[in-house]
Amino acid sequence: MSVLRKIERYLRTSDMPETKFGRLALNDPRLVRDLRNGREPGARVTARIEAFLARRVQP
């Protein structure tokens, strides 16, 4: 599953605004919008996003 799909799922389940997600995950409020518009994250950015999601999704 792509990182954008994981983010989209998280945003739906958490009801978090996309700008807040970007700010909390990478200090980049435009992150989600840029990904939706075709930005391809590098390995380090993807790893940071995955780590953020792992911390947030754990019960």
Q: With both helix axes pointing from N to C terminus, report the angle between 3-14 and 18-26 in degrees, rounded to the nearest 10.
A: 120
Domain containing residue 27: 3-57
In the chain (59 residues long), the average pLDDT of successive 10-residue segments reads: 95 96 98 97 97 82
Q: How far apart are CA 31 and CA 27, in angstroms?
A: 9
pLDDT at 34: 98
- Count of domains in the chain? 1
pLDDT at 58: 58
pLDDT at 56: 87
pLDDT at 1: 81
Closest-CA residue to 22 (of 47, 52, 43, 1): 52
Q: How far apart are CA 7 and CA 35, in angstroms?
A: 10
